[in-house]
Chain A
């Protein structure tokens, strides 16, 4: 299958700073592709080059197998990380204004319903809450029935409930078969929404694959945690890799059953035991030695 979007050897340099350092990837139609990385990793720069907001220093971008043409802007929907809009227009008027800039259009009422804009559609676009604003900006990105939807950190600054609502909305859009590129520094978001992920750090892609594949390949171990007070013997007698932290014992293992058996054999109380599965945060930690939001 031809990739909907392909990036080849993209480089973006600002004087002495290399923001994006020779990255390549392709995105198949119909998937949600995530660019995951800490702030300053080069995610937004990559996205802005794709959107044609900034010019690359080197590299090529292909849309539907060809260099981007004039129709690219008609077929792409974009939600910026932060943006202002034309002043003194209501939410509905802003949607109508942007709708008129495109050839293909989504009916305003459909967007109002999909993104739950009804209660504030007649308010000025700068007089709405953070959660309402993100839903409105998402509606704006969908105004031209885009084939490719680019969402740059769509949930940044939202409270957990508003973030969860936005994720459900994006899941709903995914079901319609749209191709989505999503940048985020929330590993839960990437894990929940993305079919494929490229982890970026320092302008480079350091790992790529499905969330499950990345975890399997880069962080396969489970973590068994129990209070140190429950351990009545010397830790080195357990013959398991053990780490002590904040009054807790953490054991890394690929075989949880064997680990628990060993603990029970030594008569250790398991009543306050916690088993933590690996996630993208631990993948990033294993790859870089840093946390995603450090």
Chain B
């Protein structure tokens, strides 16, 4: 390994990234916009989960306290009421899942429509029926509050957004860029110099890792100023986890970059890998309750282990010993990807 050649390629790649203003800006803006968007949606009081159509009602905003319906149902949280002039109009929306439940306003006996195909409709039907039961004949149940600090949804989501951004940046920034360079002949030009494949790939990988960590730091700091995230564990450990995660994701990018001259095909492969990884790694939702095979499949993705470790540190105050399994898996994945990528790499095929 010739350090001067390595450093030269590292510098050239970094210059390219920082000078591509639009891509550079988007790398910071994209995660920030998503976090900010979700912060607004889930942080405010206006968030609603269920949409209930009511008829007959004039086509004007619903003044819910002036509509005749069960008092308990009216006062439930997370409900949004939408008025329809006629039953047919409401049914049309229900049929197309634009609303989850359709209720005729007025006195008992109440009339409602619900689609058997709609999971939300099922829940709403039971909520509606429960609201009809007088409090005095309800079976007693005692509510207990979580004593520990509650984890806000935005706190749960934030590491996922950052890790997802890291994944896309690593896979596309290495995999796609190297394939493009192979296609347009840049790699061929470099091949006839004394530069070795190891020096070139190491420079690409390290450049991307540096950029990922730089982006992570800037976006984290910016978002933290607005949302004041709670990190129960050590920031240093969290940084280490993200560093190891970026290493394994970049190494996976090198595997994708190893062969091929078709940008279209590479785009397809990148999508084929990144979309399941995004959905199964619990970036957006938990896999709790999902079939075992889905949970097992999720374990093949580095993003899963990165997120598990990051959330354990952030929310549970885990130390390095608590996340040793995730660290080990990420390290092994990195080594495996590097080995595969290096052995498959071709300058011009």
Known contacts A53-B191, A73-B192, A89-B12, A82 near B5 by CB under 8 Å: no
CB distance from A92 to the nearest CB of B (A): 13
Does A147 belong to the interface (CB within 8 Å)?
no
In the complex, chain B residues 188-230 whose Cβ is within 8 Å of any chain A Cβ: 188-195
Q: Which of A54, A73, A83, A87 has the most CB of B within 10 A?
A: A87
Docked CA distance A1–B271 (Å): 59
Known contacts A88-B19, A97-B8, A97-B12, A83 near B194 by CB under 8 Å: no
- Which A residues are CB-close (under 8 A) to B9? 97
| A51 with B192: CB separation less than 8 A | yes
Docked CA distance A83–B13 (Å): 18
Contact of A76 among B11, B189, B192 (CB under 8 A): B192
Does B15 belong to the interface (CB within 8 Å)?
yes
- Which B residues are CB-close (under 8 A) to A52? 191-192
In the complex, chain B residues 78-122 whose Cβ is within 8 Å of any chain A Cβ: none
| B16 with A100: CB separation less than 8 A | no
Known contacts A53-B348, A82-B185, A93-B15, A88 near B192 by CB under 8 Å: no
| B12 with A83: CB separation less than 8 A | no
Docked CA distance A203–B89 (Å): 76
- Which B residues are CB-close (under 8 A) to A102? 193-194
Docked CA distance A52–B347 (Å): 11
Q: Quick one: CB contact mask for A84-111 with B, threshold 8 Å, 1 for yes?
A: 1111110001000110111100000000
Main secondary structure of the interface of B (DSSP, over half): helix
- Nearest chain A residue, comparing its CB with the CB of B20: A88
Docked CA distance A100–B15 (Å): 16
Known contacts A86-B12, A89-B16, A74 near B189 by CB under 8 Å: no
Docked CA distance A86–B15 (Å): 10
Docked CA distance A98–B5 (Å): 9
Does B129 belong to the interface (CB within 8 Å)?
no
CB distance from B181 to the nearest CB of A (A): 8
Known contacts A53-B348, A89-B12, A101 near B192 by CB under 8 Å: no
- Which B residues are CB-close (under 8 A) to A84? 181, 184-186, 189
In the complex, chain A residues 52-79 whose Cβ is within 8 Å of any chain B Cβ: 52-54, 70, 73-74, 76, 78
Does A167 belong to the interface (CB within 8 Å)?
no
| B185 with A101: CB separation less than 8 A | no
The size bracket of the interface on A is 20 to 34
- Which A residues are CB-close (under 8 A) to B186? 83-86
Does B4 belong to the interface (CB within 8 Å)?
yes
Docked CA distance A100–B195 (Å): 10
Docked CA distance A102–B193 (Å): 7
CB distance from A34 to the nearest CB of B (A): 20
- Which B residues are CB-close (under 8 A) to A54? 348
Docked CA distance A102–B348 (Å): 21
| A89 with B189: CB separation less than 8 A | no
Does A80 belong to the interface (CB within 8 Å)?
yes
In the complex, chain B residues 147-197 whose Cβ is within 8 Å of any chain A Cβ: 181, 184-186, 188-195
- Nearest chain A residue, comparing its CB with the CB of B195: A101
- Nearest chain A residue, comparing its CB with the CB of B349: A54
CB distance from A181 to the nearest CB of B (A): 13
Docked CA distance A288–B12 (Å): 48
List 14 interface pairs A-B (beta carbons < 8 Å), by A numbering.
A52-B192, A53-B188, A53-B347, A73-B193, A73-B194, A84-B181, A84-B189, A85-B186, A86-B12, A86-B16, A89-B15, A93-B15, A100-B8, A103-B194
Sample of 15 further A-B pairs with CB below 8 A, known A73-B194, A86-B186: A53-B347, A80-B185, A83-B185, A83-B186, A83-B189, A84-B181, A84-B185, A86-B13, A88-B19, A88-B20, A89-B16, A100-B5, A101-B5, A101-B8, A103-B194
